Structure 1
Amino acid sequence: MKIETERLIIKPFERHHFNEVYEIFKDASTCRYLLHDKWTHEDKEQKFNKKLNNNQLTKGRALNLAVLVESNVIGDLSVWYTDMKDTVEIGYTFSKSMAGKGYATEAVMALINYLFKTEKVHRIQASLDARNIASEKLCRRVGMRKEAHFIQDFWNKDEWTDSIVFGMLKSDYVNFNSSYT
């Protein structure tokens, strides 16, 4: 599986991506709103191997994808099926050095396009820490709608946090894209 956009290549991780991925996930501020802490020297190999093994989307396995500019990994896209029929959840993490260049928007739009057109999903959702303003803005830019804000519903990293859920139906996607053609 490979997705190409004007500036990006999105594909499953390969062994030689290891150091670039570690550079992204070893940063504590990058991992602040993620479910896991920053990668350490001790656990980086195990965590990267999980990304390598998640190379195909199935009902029982997540898909992890490298986002590349030229041949450099700048981000990570994840997608997995929820318990609801034809519904997937997406996640994304990008290198701080790439912020403000539109790469995250381009990559997530390409992933959404792939999921609706190729995987034929009915619904895409994203659950985020309510404090993650950048992620919320990204969801809005790609046409997702805010569907819920849960108050202190999630225990993560020794604190209760609020969660926000964004969603998009295939019909939303069609209407969102037709407004730009």
Structure 2
Amino acid sequence: MRKGEQMKLESERLTLVPCTKDVVLSRKFDTPPHIKTYLENLEQDPELLGWGVWIVLVKQSNKIVGDMGFKGKPKNHTVEIGYGILPGEQGKGFATEGVTELINWAFSFDDVHKIQAECHADNKASIRVLEKVHMKVMDQSTSFIYWELDKEEN
């Protein structure tokens, strides 16, 4: 996190804000287990802010449509990205739009050279998102596909 900045990312239709206890309390939404775990970790290490969960809001309505983010701070110049859009909001391009913003944000740091992702091999919607953001398949098992995007190719 850059000191003194109010962290948020904006795309054409979305605003992404890093998940904090204040954000969760002010939005009054049910907190899934991965967010609870992240908030506990953030309390122990405030430098995780930005490298964890981001809440995805539709600009026009300020409605939460999902969450996405990274699975920790950069290690070996690499971060892993993940995302989830609420079922009623899927198929509207929100995942692609938000993931694109997070990729650009992560690559703005000198310490990040690669972004990785994984998805279930039968998750056609997730596969399409990763293709649209120009990730390349690096490996595949019967259950999962493993993806990567290199900063130099972005």
Q: Shorter-chain TM-score: which interval?
A: 0.7 to 0.9
2:100 aligns with: 109
Q: Which has the larger share of strand?
A: 1
Task: Classify 1:5/1:82 alpha carbon distance in 2 versus 1 (closer, same or farther; 3 Å).
Answer: closer
Length, aligned pairs only? 138
Q: 1:94 aligns with which of 69, 81, 85?
A: 85
2:4 aligns with: none
Superposition deviation, residue 52 in structure 1: 3.8
Output one character per residue of 1:13-69: Cα deviation in whole Å (capped at 9) or x when no partner: 2122342xx3xx8xxxxxxxxxxxxx5xxxx6xx543344547537xx951100101
1:80 equivalent to 2:71? Answer: yes
Q: Is the 8 A contact 1:12 1:52 kept in 2?
A: no
Which consecutive residues of structure 2, in runs of 5 or more, have no partner in the other structure? Answer: 1-6
After TM superposition, the score normalised by the length of structure 1 is 0.67
Task: Classify 1:149/1:49 alpha carbon distance in 2 versus 1 (closer, same or farther; 3 Å).
Answer: closer
Superposition deviation, residue 122 in structure 1: 0.6
User: What is the rounded CA distance, in whole Å, between the counterparts of 1:56 and 1:50 in structure 2?
Assistant: 15
Identity of aligned residues (%): 32
Q: Helix, strand or coil for the counterpart of 2:92?
A: coil
Superposition deviation, residue 127 in structure 1: 1.2
Highest CA radius of gyration, 1 or 2? 1
Letter of the aligned partner of 1:67 in structure 2? V
Letter of the aligned partner of 1:171 in structure 2? E
Q: Helix, strand or coil for the counterpart of 2:122?
A: coil
User: What is the rounded CA distance, in whole Å, between the counterparts of 1:7 and 1:83 in structure 2?
Assistant: 28
Which consecutive residues of structure 1, in runs of 5 or more, have no partner in the other structure? Answer: 26-38, 152-161, 174-181
Letter of the aligned partner of 1:4 in structure 2? E
1:133 equivalent to 2:105? Answer: no
Superposition deviation, residue 123 in structure 1: 0.3
Superposition deviation, residue 112 in structure 1: 0.3
Task: Classify 1:17/1:104 alpha carbon distance in 2 versus 1 (closer, same or farther; 3 Å).
Answer: same
Q: Helix, strand or coil for the counterpart of 1:118?
A: coil
Q: 1:57 aligns with which of 25, 40, 48?
A: 48
Question: Which contiguous aligned blocks of 4+ residues in structure 1 show a shift greater than 6 angstroms?
Answer: none
1:17 equivalent to 2:4? Answer: no
1:168 aligns with: 149
Q: Helix, strand or coil for the counterpart of 1:139?
A: helix
Task: Classify 1:18/1:148 alpha carbon distance in 2 versus 1 (closer, same or farther; 3 Å).
Answer: farther
After TM superposition, the score normalised by the length of structure 2 is 0.77
2:3 aligns with: none
